Each structure stands twice: as C-alpha cells, then as structure tokens.
Structure 1
Amino acid sequence: MSRNVQINLEDVKHLATRVLTHVGYDEAHAAAITHMLYTCQLDDCQSHGLFRLFMCAQTMKAGKISGSALPELTPSDNAIVRVDANTGMSLLAVEKAMPVLIEKTRHHGMAAMAVNNCFHFSALWPEVEQLSQAGLVGMAMVPSHSWVAPAGGKRGTLGTNPLAFSWPRQDKDPFTFDFATSAFARGEIELYLRSGKPLPDGVAVDVEGNPTNDPQAAMDGAMLTFGSYKGSALSIMIELMAGPLIDDLTSLESMEYAAGAAGAPYHGEVILAFDPAQFSNGKLAQNDARAECLFADIIDQGARLPSQRRFAARARNIERGYVEISEALHNDLLALLEA
C-alpha cells in the first residue's frame, strides 16, 4: 500500500507550474491551470487536484490543443458574454471573461458566459464560487466525451456533464455543489483503477452492457448516470445548454473530434449568473435571512450542506500548511518532468 507524502502549499503551485510549462503550456495558461489545481488540492478534491496534471500532459501530447492561445472576448450590449478559447484550455478564457460577466450581471440582473472552442478538464465549483464571492448566484455546465450511457442504454452517448451551483452567504462559506450527472466522475474511476479497487454497484457497464465493478471494464464500456432517468434527463439538458445553445459541441461530437486521442474533451461551457439584489424585490436582507433559516433547519437535523467537508479540509490544510497525496502519485508526477 502506498504511503502518503506531505507537500507544502507553495510547493503544490511550484510542482504544477513546472509540469505544465515542461509539457508545453505558456506562462499565462500554466498560471490559470495551476490556480485551479491548487484550489482543488487545497480542498482535498483529489480527482481534480494535482492528479489532473496527467490529463493536461496527455492533452498537449495529443497535439490539438494550443498551449499559448489568446482568448478572444466579443463585445456586446446584451447580457451575453462570449469568449473564444481558440483551442486553449478553458481556464484562461474564463479568467478573462469573468469580470465582464460580473459587470453585466450587476447591470442586467442576470447574464451568461458562453465559452467556445475550449479544452476542459477542471472542476466547476471554483468558477461559480467566484460569482458567489462577488455576491451573485452562479451556475455552470459543461458536456465532456460520450462516456455515459443514457438510462436504458448500453453505450456512451452523454458526457459526465457536471452541474455546479453557488449561493452567497454573509460572513459564511457559500452554499455550493458541483457534481457529475454520471454516478461517478471519470477521474474517480481512474483513481479506482490506479488503486486497484473495485467500483461500487450501479456505476458502469462493460462493452456488452452488463453491470461491472471492474474500473478497466468501465473505462472500456460505459458509465451510468445517477438516479436512472432523472440523472439522464439532467445530463441531456446539459448537453443542450452547453452545446447547441451556445453553438458548440455535444459529447458525441467532442468524442468524434478527439479521434481516439487521449486528453481533455473539446467543447464549450456555459456559466449563468444572477444578482440577488435585483431578484429579491427590494428585500435582499429578508430573503437572505429566509435562506439561512433553510440552511439552519437542514443542519439542525444532523444533515450537512454540500461542500461542508471541502471547506473543512481547506481550513485544515491552510492551518497546517500542507496537503497530502499518495507517494505513488507524487512519484508519477515527478516522472512527468523527465518525459
């Protein structure tokens, strides 16, 4: 069994930046990606932290991504912010367009960001939490590759298709959730494969459409949505919202574009923002208080709010000044610097 190693918080950033620049990302892209990876690792989000450096390296090696593409922001007088990533990673494009989205939301009451022509591998909660930190309500959606079978199906048609939401709270961590509409995130299955552990029931089927607990058979076959037809319907909605609605690819089309190459999926992303000050009918404080009553009642009965464990991990890691990852993962990350 692999032991864990402790990595100083600044060394997390340093390691990520070294790997990213070594495999071909320029300084601006490496900084944006590193910030995302650090944010996830700080919160013990192992599937989207330093582990994702492998996908970043694979994506560059596949040869379709640009590690130096400059995002292009299209000016508009309406509530839509459109930013073209120009075949770069999504993160630099989102970073460039986020201030404009916040400005438009405060002007119009609600606004949307459409990110086009991007490679995407990252968690969504850091993006929607940028909105809640600004006092706005945020939602984000992306397709991926067609790894997931619809309810009643046997082959991949849908993506893992995550949905994220964040609600601002005064002097408290926001109410945030970010989950794939598949029963497991793709990265989680990869981590199970790395550790040699069997998957839980109800996560995937093999190439014949039979239920499987084998991570490799799941990777070769198809993943399943959570909640049967309910998760399947949400996943289809995300395909439409983050695909045809914003003139970008579905998960099937993203898979076709990849043509068998490893790495991050290529598609679009949609981020929605709402200004509570303009939606609350002039009663922002009263409606914030009503939301807090809802949260309090949930916690009072022994339930937890989504992301509470993540926020606790963040506080713990900041206090002690380091994060922990497996020694095997650390060694494999260092090996990327020798490739």
Structure 2
Amino acid sequence: MENINLSLAQVHDLAVRVLTTNGMDADHAAAIARVITAGQRDECHSHGIYRLIVCVKSLREGKLNGHARPVTQDVSAAVVRVNADFGYSQLAFEMGLPLLVEKARQIGIAALAINDCFHFSALWPEVEAIASTGLAALAMTPSHSWVAPAGGTKPVFGTNPIAFAWPREGLEPFVFDFATSAIARGDIELHRRTDQAIPLGWAVDNFGRPTTDPVAALQGAMLTFGGHKGSALAAMVELIAGPLIGDLTSLESQKFDAGVGATPCHGELILAFNPAILGGARASTGAKHAESMFDAIVGQGARLPSQRRFDARVRSATRGVEVPAQLYNDIMALVKD
C-alpha cells in the first residue's frame, strides 16, 4: 500500500487543523495533537492520526464539548480531581498534573481522578509524563462495553487499559501499557480498514462463535487476554476507575453514547508514587535492585516493554512517519474550509 511520509511537525499541525476546523478550541486541539503525534511517532498506529476520525465524529455528533473548561479541585492532601466538562481527557490531565506531582512529592502517594471525560488515547503518555518527574505512576480507565467476560459471549467490560511507568536515572522509563482485552479495539478497526483477517482469540461474533472476520468481531464481542485473569483485571479497572471515583462503568458509557458511536465517556484514575519517600533510607538501594532486575531481563536477550516504541521514537525523529495514503486522504477529508 502506498504511504505518505510526514514529519512529526506535520502530524501535529494536521491534527490541530482537523480539530480546530471542526469546532474544537485551540488549547484542547493542541493537547490532543501532542498525544496523537506521540502515538504516530512511536509507531502505535491505532493511536496515531487514525484516532482523528472518531474525534471528529464525536464533535460532529454533539457528544463531545469542544469548548470544555476543565475545573481542578484540590480535594485532600493526596487527591486531585479534575472535571473535564465532557471534553477530551488530555487537557484535563495536563491541568491536574502539576498538583498531582506536588502532592506525591510531599506525602509519597497521590491520586488524580478525572471525571466526565472522553478518552481515546493510550495511557502511556500520562504515566511517562509522571515518570519524567522522577515518580512512578499507574493509570487506568474503562471505555465502552465491547468485551465479554471470561466464559461469556456478551459485552460487559471495556478494553480497560492499565499503564505503569517506573523512572530510571538517565534512561527511558520502564513502561507498559496494555488493554485487558486481547487486543486494542483500534487494531481490529485497522484490520477492517485494510480487509485483513484477525487472529482467533481476539473476538467472537454476535452468535458467540470465534471469528477471524474483523467486521463480525466489531458486531460481536471482544475477548479478554488470559481468560479469567484478564477478565478479573478488567473488572478491577471498571470498579476503581469508575464507581470508586464516582464515574461510569463501560456499560453505562455505552448507554450514554446512545448508539452514536462517539469516543467513550467515563472517568480516569491516575496514581503517582514517590520512591524517595516510600523507599526512605533504602530508596537508592531500591533503585539499584530495580536496575539489576532490568539487566537480568535484557541480559538474556529479552526486551523491556515499550522498547519497540522507544526505538521507533528515535527513527521517527529523523525520518518522519509513514501513513497509509488512504488513511491520509480520509483525514484530509475531515478538514473543513
């Protein structure tokens, strides 16, 4: 398939142009463009400019508030809350981040609860941003009810990602970010766009039968990874990133959507940990133990999670990124004069 080469600056500018010409305020568009550019840069194709399609749909359908004014609330010594005002989560996160970091540095652990937000992106941008300050981080969010529980065939859970970052002195952080479903929904969408079969184990059709057809998968139910283990983790994410922070489960997010097909609307929970306080006098020893573990992993030929992304990040900075021509044309068609 023919590709279009774009610089990272061109990706960012394209994202801003698409969003602002469809009625989104400039500060929101810039925050989202930063995340989309990061996804494309790291070759996370299902979280790059492809996501502009659902962003614009959400704007045009009137679900998303493109003029939202997030409000930050200092709840307690350890808790920050940001109401996203039914806008995307990116600007709300950026607004709540400084206070979250400040609290974690002061008392060792702090939580940021984002309510009433639409969320389309990966979670690693959030946890990486926190790790860059020297803190460890954990983030979770539900989505729409697309995923069946282990032993079932009807959607209950969202893809319900979990992301974690551990800061490393002078090195890229240790980061993982994965859906509790067998695969991200965006990957099934990309298979549909290119008319490619999906692997067995990703989804079932609407009759509960295993399928390799991405269209049937999107009409049926996705599956959790690891059977009952992934299913239990998905339920945990639903609870502590939904009801615990006074927000929606994936089932309720799906109801809120009312068949429009917009980005999921719900909450997000982000935790920050200060190794200096939690480790106390043993903090430096703990950091050495962590590095010994990482050395033991890579020393036998295994790779750390996100290493592929970091390698892609270096390539993209000098070579730009490759975007399928059809996807590029679809994105350009979203721009309003």
Whether 2:323 is the aligned partner of 1:325: answer yes
Cα deviation for residue 338 of structure 1 reads: 4.8
Whether 2:39 is the aligned partner of 1:55: answer no
Q: Within 2, Cα distance between the matches of 1:89 and 1:9?
A: 22
Give the letter aligned to residue 155 of structure 1: K
Query: Could you state the TM-score of these two structures normalised by the residue count of structure 2?
Result: 0.99
- Superposed, 1:51-90 pairs within 5 Å as 51-90=50-89
Cα deviation for residue 65 of structure 1 reads: 1.3
Cα deviation for residue 281 of structure 1 reads: 2.8
Q: Within 2, Cα distance between the matches of 1:10 and 1:319?
A: 12
SS of aligned partner of 1:253: helix
Contact 2:116 2:267 in 1 (8 A): yes
Give the letter aligned to residue 335 of structure 2: L
Q: For residue 31 of structure 1, what is the aligned residue in structure 2?
A: 30
- Superposed, 1:302-313 pairs within 5 Å as 302-313=301-312
Q: For residue 278 of structure 1, what is the aligned residue in structure 2?
A: 277
Q: For residue 316 of structure 1, what is the aligned residue in structure 2?
A: 315
- Superposed, 1:198-237 pairs within 5 Å as 198-237=197-236
Give the letter aligned to residue 58 of structure 1: K
Superposed CA RMSD:
0.9
Structure 2 residue ranges without an equivalent (≥5): none
Number of aligned residue pairs? 337
Cα deviation for residue 64 of structure 1 reads: 1.7
Q: For 1:46-98, what per-residue CA distance to the aligned partner results, in whole angstroms no more than 9, with x for missing partners?
A: 00011100010011122121101100111233201011001111111101000
SS of aligned partner of 1:173: strand
Cα deviation for residue 282 of structure 1 reads: 1.2
Q: Within 2, Cα distance between the matches of 1:279 and 1:55?
A: 41
Query: Could you state the TM-score of these two structures normalised by the residue count of structure 1?
Result: 0.98
Give the letter aligned to residue 332 of structure 2: L
Q: Within 2, Cα distance between the matches of 1:285 and 1:29?
A: 39
Give the letter aligned to residue 7 of structure 1: L
Q: For residue 268 of structure 2, what is the aligned residue in structure 1?
A: 269
* Most deviating of 70-79 and 252-261: 70-79
Contact 2:80 2:100 in 1 (8 A): yes
Q: Within 2, Cα distance between the matches of 1:62 and 1:234?
A: 32
Cα deviation for residue 241 of structure 1 reads: 0.6
Q: For residue 149 of structure 1, what is the aligned residue in structure 2?
A: 148
Q: Within 1, Cα distance between the matches of 2:163 and 2:288?
A: 23
Q: For residue 334 of structure 2, what is the aligned residue in structure 1?
A: 336
SS of aligned partner of 2:83: strand
Q: For residue 295 of structure 1, what is the aligned residue in structure 2?
A: 294
Contact 2:147 2:159 in 1 (8 A): yes
Give the letter aligned to residue 108 of structure 1: I
Q: Which runs of 4+ in 1 moved over 3 A?
A: none
SS of aligned partner of 2:269: strand
Q: Within 1, Cα distance between the matches of 2:289 and 2:222?
A: 39
Q: Within 2, Cα distance between the matches of 1:197 and 1:338?
A: 31
Give the letter aligned to residue 57 of structure 1: V
Q: Within 1, Cα distance between the matches of 2:76 and 2:32?
A: 30
SS of aligned partner of 2:168: coil
SS of aligned partner of 1:11: helix
Cα deviation for residue 40 of structure 1 reads: 1.1
Identical counterparts, % of pairs: 53
Q: Within 2, Cα distance between the matches of 1:61 and 1:145?
A: 19
